[in-house]
Every structure is written in structure tokens, then in C-alpha cells.
Amino acid sequence: MSCRRLKGDMRPEGQIREHYAVEVALADQLRASSKEARLSGNLYTILYDELYRRVPHHQQLTRKASAAGTAKALEWQYGMVARFLCPHTRFLEVGPGDCALSLKVAPMVEQVYAVDISAIITSHASVPGNFKLVLSDGCDIPLSENSVDVAYSNQLMEHLHPDDAREQLQNIFQTLKPGGRYICVTPNKVNGPWDISFCCDQEARGFHLKEYSMRELMQLFRAVGFQTLSAYAGARGYYMRFPLFLIIGLENVLSLLPFRIRSGIGRSLFFRSIMGIRLVGVK
């Protein structure tokens, strides 16, 4: 039986199945690992490096070769965060990758912190004076309490072990000033899975260690102290506030459908624009 494909994945089926087998095996190691191994032992970094070494055709690697695609994705992210920025903003990005968004934001704000597990910023020879790269063990946020106005992460929460995700969220909450906002962008498990698992499974088994529904993520945000929550819907850089109860209602309805029907409907552009999680918590 042929495997399902994530949108845009044009690789031969053999490569997709190879990728699936390698990633699921490595992800199982992460799920079963101790916190000490994941954080102090740098297991996240070790296993991701192993994945990219063994799967050189991984989309994350080939996508970097497309400058136009990278620039488009950057503009879409900026379209989400720009509404929350002003010249006095102290901005934090968690899991910034190549730091392209943080560097784009820097001229518009007072200070930018990019928190990552690696000290390597690819393709940037210099950075502005108000930009600071802060090293993390993958869970901690080594900044002063009440020091950040806006925090942001994109496609990060689902890659964390659930135990680490809650702790990191608590750490982000502590760094925010009263009234500060955390913008969390992550795929919705109801119309997932969104990692390589989609080719063979009905739930995430790869390096999306846990995908969340909007309801689950809201509960997690409230558990660490966020009281005011809002959601945004849209696509391609254009977003607007959208009622949380409608998103949860859609989740409830789709969850009742068989997987193939749920997936076919839920992965349409219309439903992705609503159900892709863009949750904003206010401290």
C-alpha cells in the first residue's frame, strides 16, 4: 500500500519510508530518555544530528536551499509578531533556528534575545548591538524574571518532551513582565499528524514528541499561570483574532470523524488557517 505524503514532499516513496523508520526509532529514544540525558547529555542535539546524517534528503535540509521559500516563510512569521512590537519592546524568540526572524525584528525594538541550544548562527557575519544569543539546555530560559515584553516560538512546542515542554513554558512565563505576551505557534494534533508519521500513522510518532489540540495547550498555559488567552487565524502573513470556542468546537467535531475524512477536511487551507495553533497568552 502506498504511503501518504505531507504537502510538498515529492520524494520517492522509498525515501519517505526510510525517513519514517529512522525518525521513529530515534524519537522513541527521546521519549524513553531521562531528563538528565535530554538536557545535560544534549540528547536532543545528538539525535537530530543523527537524523540529518542518516536522512540527507530530509525536507528540513533541502528546504534551506530555497532562498525564495525561506524569505516567504520569514515574512509570514513577521506578519504574526509585528502587531505586538513597538520601539520599547524587549523581544524573546525561543528556538530561533538561523535567527532570521530575530534579526529582522531587531531594528524595530529595544532588545532581542534569541534562546537556543546552539551558539552557531548560520550565514550571519555580524549582528546588531541590541541582539543577544542566549544558550539554553533546551528547557531553561536563562534571562531575568520580568524582563521580556513579547516572547515567541514557532514549531517548537511539539518537538519537546512533554515534561520539558511544561517546564520551558513555566520558564517563559517567569521571564515575561506583567502584561507580557507569549505567542506560541504549533500544529494542531486534530488534523495531524504533522511530522513524518503522517505517511503511516494516525498520530505523531516522529520528532513531534507531542502534538497538542488547542484545548490541551490552553489547559497547559493556564496551569503555569497565563490567565488571558487569545487565538489568531489566517495564513501567509495575514492573521486576525478568532474566537477560541469556535476552534475548540471544530476540534470536537473533527475528532468524531474517521481519520481519512478528518484528515482530508482538516488539512484543507481553510481549516488549516483556523486550526493551526497560534495561541497568545498574557501574563
Residue 8 lies in a domain: no
User: Which of 97-101, 164-168, 212-216 is predicted least confidently?
Assistant: 97-101
* Number of independent structural domains in the chain: 1
Per-residue model confidence (pLDDT) at position 105: 97
Residue 4 lies in a domain: no
Residue 50 lies in a domain: yes
Please state the rounded mean pLDDT for residues 52-81: 83
State the CATH number of the domain containing residue 24. Answer: 3.40.50.150
Q: How confident is the model at residue 117 (pLDDT cuts 50, 70, 90)?
A: confident
Whether the per-residue pLDDT at 63 is higher than 70: the answer is no
Per-residue model confidence (pLDDT) at position 22: 97
Model confidence, pTM:
0.94
| Three-state SS sequence of the chain | CCCCCCCCCCCCHHHHHHHHHHHHHHHHHHHHCCHHHHHCCCHHHHHHHHHHHHCCCCHHHHHCCCHHHHHHHHHHHHHHHHHHCCCCCEEEEECCCCCHHHHHHHHHCCEEEEEECCCCCCCCCCCCCCEEEEECCCCCCCCCCCCEEEEEEECCHHHCCHHHHHHHHHHHHHHEEEEEEEEEEECEHHHCCCCHHHHCCCCCCCCCCCCECHHHHHHHHHHHCCCEEEEEEEECCEEEEECHHHHHHHHHHHHCCCHHHHHHHHCCHHHHHHHCEEEEEEC
Residue 147 lies in a domain: yes
Residue 228 lies in a domain: yes
Q: Which residue has the higher pLDDT, 122 or 246?
A: 246
Per-residue model confidence (pLDDT) at position 122: 46
Max mean pLDDT range (6-10, 123-127, 130-134, 279-283): 279-283
Residue 127 lies in a domain: yes
Per-residue model confidence (pLDDT) at position 61: 75
